[in-house]
């Protein structure tokens, strides 16, 4: 049995995380791996309640620091309750966004002091960092176009909420995080064909974890 691994998928809205996560999930299952596919926020029962607070449009008074702490409490709950036990059972855990999203969206995007985010992450998440993080890169201008391909009302809500400027800051944040941890991050050009990206992801997983060499 393979030892469990945590693989996270990161990148701007619409960069292709869910598309690639679904494909690699199927591939890993074909290779005989046990896989847990999960996402944040809202991966746990408590997380669902936190998500309700975070996404309620009436909560206009939600302070950015409170928002940050809510996201982090969901991530910590998710990590301890779901991800770590699955890893301990030897599962490949595929997570759609993880702590890097918090740093990028709340820190670089909303402008919360990165040191205050870092101080919480360093004791609660850093001991359990992902084994591998795929960062799918797309230009911030592509976000609107990608989201446009999906449900229209949903797109409108999302794009009304965040400005182009926000996505540019977030893209820069991802770039800085990936440069700081080149071993953990694998950056892939999210503008390539879905299948091309999928094959690149397979190649990295084969190389790092010795999965998928069986005939």
Ligand X SMILES: Nc1ncnc2c1ncn2[C@@H]1O[C@H](COP(=O)(O)OP(=O)(O)OP(=O)(O)O)[C@@H](O)[C@H]1O
> Which does residue 184 touch among Mg ion, ligand X, none (CB within 5 to 8 A, set by kind)?
none
Q: Give 117 or 197: the residue with its C-beta nearer to ligand X.
A: 197
For residue 126, count CB atoms less than 10 angstroms from its CB and return exposed for 0-12, middle for 13-18, buried for 19 or more. exposed
Q: Give 82 or 137: the residue with its C-beta nearer to ligand X.
A: 137
Q: Which of 30, 63, 149, 153 binds ligand X (CB under 6 A)?
A: 149
If one asks whether residue 135 binds ligand X (CB under 6 A), the answer comes out as no
Number of other CB atoms surrounding residue 69 within 10 Å: 16
Report CA-CA distances (Å) from 10 to 16, 31, 98, 178, 190. Answer: 9, 24, 7, 10, 11
Q: Give the residue carrying structure tokens 């009304």.
A: 160
Q: Which helix (H) or strand (E) holds 94?
A: strand 92-96
Q: Give 4 or 10: the residue with its C-beta nearer to ligand X.
A: 10
**In the range 9-68, which residues lie near ligand X by CB under 6 A?**
11, 13-19
Q: Give 20 or 44: the residue with its C-beta nearer to ligand X.
A: 20
Q: Which of 2, 5, 9, 18 binds Mg ion (CB under 5 A)?
A: 18
């Amino acid at each position: 049995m393979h030892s469990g691994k945590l693989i996270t998928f990161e990148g701007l809205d619409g960069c292709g995380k869910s598309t690639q996560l679904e494909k690699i999930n199927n591939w890993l299952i074909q290779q005989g791996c046990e896989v847990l596919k999960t996402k944040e926020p809202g991966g746990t029962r408590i997380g669902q309640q936190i998500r309700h607070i975070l996404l309620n449009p009436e909560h206009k008074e939600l302070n950015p620091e409170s928002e940050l702490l809510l996201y982090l409490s969901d991530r910590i709950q998710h990590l301890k309750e779901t991800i770590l036990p699955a890893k301990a059972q030897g599962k490949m855990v595929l997570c759609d966004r993880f702590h890097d999203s918090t740093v990028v969206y709340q820190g670089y995007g909303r402008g919360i002091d990165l040191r205050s985010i870092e101080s919480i992450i360093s004791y609660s998440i850093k001991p359990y960092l992902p084994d591998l993080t795929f960062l799918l890169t797309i230009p911030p201008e592509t976000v609107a176009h990608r989201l446009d391909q999906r449900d229209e009302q949903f797109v409108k809500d999302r794009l009304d909420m965040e400005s182009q400027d926000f996505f540019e800051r977030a893209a820069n944040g991802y770039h800085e995080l990936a440069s700081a941890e080149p071993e953990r991050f694998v950056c892939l050009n999210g503008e390539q064909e879905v299948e091309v990206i999928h094959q690149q992801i397979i190649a990295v997983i084969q190389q790092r974890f010795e999965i998928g060499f069986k005939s």
